[in-house]
Structure 1
Amino acid sequence: MRQVHDQLPVPFVTIDRKFYILEYTPEASELLNLNPSFLESVDQDSHDKVIKWVNPDAGKVNIEINMHKESEVFLIDLYVHWKNDLQAEVIMMPKYEANNHVSGMLEKLQKRLNDTNFELLEEKDKLEAAVDQNNRLSAPYIRLTTDTALIPLFGDLDERKLFAIKDQVLEEAHHYNHDRILFDFTGVGAFNPESLHLLRDIFKSLFYMGKEVVIIGIKPDQARKLNEMSIQMNLKYMHSLQKAIEKYCS
């Protein structure tokens, strides 16, 4: 095995049919810890591939294999050309640059995805804030008199909407110190058991604050769901908002 300098300035070796290295360039020596047998520098997983394709019968081939230098394993494009039945010229082109290029592209793509995700997160936060604001507006706190306030409710009462209005209702009831809070259910659609629990929490908090809770415009199916709650907290019911205003605001 001898080093030559008059070949291509790339990792290059000449091997025989049994894979013994006959000649090598300095670049090949830098790339690999050269051993007498070329196969000793080929990673074990690629041995069968090299044996299958690097032979005179296969002729000129280009294959991708793993090679190693000490503990480092790297990908190689192997270009093989048989000069005759006894010797082959082998060029080894590491795929570092290609891998670096792909890695660079992946890093750029990841950055774009991160930027996009951040933008989507910002938009999601804005949308959630808008939904919460809309939910709060669906239960405005209206001062009717010095001791009576009205909270008209609109739409389906889901958990998110009730979470959004709960603090607002309690804070304003405390701030304005109304004795009586009228909840108008005329514009309310459906509400589920989870929503019922949140309604109970709101009414119970007002009850503990010493407020009288009056429920207006309740539908029969809603009344059945609220029946047990009304027994526990002595909730009052009225058929229409007009009747309630006549009674409490005249």
Structure 2
Amino acid sequence: MLDGRHLPLPFFKLDKKFRILERSLAAGKLFAEKESFLDLADEDSRRKAEKVLSSGKNDSELVLRTLQSPLALFKLNINTDNEFLYLILTEQNSKMEMLVQQVELHRRRLAETDLQLLAKKEEAEDAYRKIIELSCPFIMLTKKTALLPLYGDLTEELVSANAGRLLNLLQETCAEQVTIDFHGVGSITETGMKALANLVKEFTLMGASTCFASLNPVQAKQVYSSHTTLDATYVSSLSSALETYLL
């Protein structure tokens, strides 16, 4: 009878509970000494190893832990009798390398996709910032008079996103009169009105007077119900404001 220990390939003799009864010298050089063959499989492959050994299916592939590598791919040839299982393992180095390369390629593609998504996110954020700025432009009508037409809903976010830019422009232009036109405004939130009131206070501290123009009855009621103290004058329309401050 051939002594399995001298086979030139990794060989194992197992009992029906997959305990290692005998192994070849080649297997001893490749694998750590374990009581059960299942202990040679990595955690993710252990259940598959048990299924393969139970079925006795030949040419199955398993990822096993060797002394040189925590992930090595082997093809199994299995023979069985009433008492034992006989395994011969063939290492699939090239196939494992190909799988590793595929995983690495997939990782790189994911990284590239993440960068592309990040770039698109930054583009979207830039576009959003431009929309916010367009919702609150600062237009110099004369050397001392500026027009600030508002568009969209007057919210705290709208005012806060533009406050720094508007204050810088006011300082750069040395404008003394700012007309805030409400003709393009939708709804007015209470927090938005309070944020605008704080901005008007900043205008006043910087030496600029503020005028509110084109408030419709609903907006006027919203401004009044916000209980916000405003250091501003009111005119019924933008044309009235222009007549007052430009002529």
Same fold (TM over 0.5): yes
1:61 to 52, 57, 61: 57
| Corresponding position of 2:104 | 107
| Corresponding position of 1:166 | 163
Q: TM-score scaled by structure 2?
A: 0.73
2:155, 2:193 within 8 Å by CA — same for their partners in 1?
A: no
Shift of 1:164: 3.7
Root mean square deviation of aligned Cα: 3.8
| Corresponding position of 1:31 | 30
Shift of 1:182: 0.5
Shifted more, 136-145 versus 86-95: the winner is 86-95
Q: Cα 1:124–1:234, aligned 2, differ >3 Å: closer, same or farther? A: same
Percent identity for Structure 1 against Structure 2:
23
| Corresponding position of 2:77 | 79
Q: Output one character per residue of 1:192-248: Cα deviation in whole Å (capped at 9) or x when no partner.
A: 333223212211211222321100011223223323778623321110111111122
The CA distance in 1 between the partners of 2:187 and 2:51, in whole Å, is 74
Q: TM-score scaled by structure 1?
A: 0.73
| Corresponding position of 2:123 | 126
Unmatched 5+ stretches in structure 2: none
1:153 aligns with 2:155: no
2:145, 2:175 within 8 Å by CA — same for their partners in 1?
A: yes
Q: Cα 1:137–1:249, aligned 2, differ >3 Å: closer, same or farther? A: same
Once the two structures are superposed, the pairs formed by residues 210-249 of structure 1 within 5 Å of their partners are 210-227=207-224, 232-249=229-246
State the SS of the aligned residue for 1:132.
helix
State the SS of the aligned residue for 1:150.
strand
Shift of 1:120: 1.7
| Corresponding position of 1:90 | 87
State the SS of the aligned residue for 1:61.
coil
2:5, 2:11 within 8 Å by CA — same for their partners in 1?
A: no
Q: Output one character per residue of 1:66-104: Cα deviation in whole Å (capped at 9) or x when no partner.
A: 87678x97676543213x657653213457766554443
**Which residue identity does 1:143 align to in structure 2?**
M
The number of aligned residues is 235
1:43 to 27, 39, 49: 39
2:197, 2:229 within 8 Å by CA — same for their partners in 1?
A: no
| Corresponding position of 2:5 | 3
The CA distance in 2 between the partners of 1:162 and 1:173, in whole Å, is 15
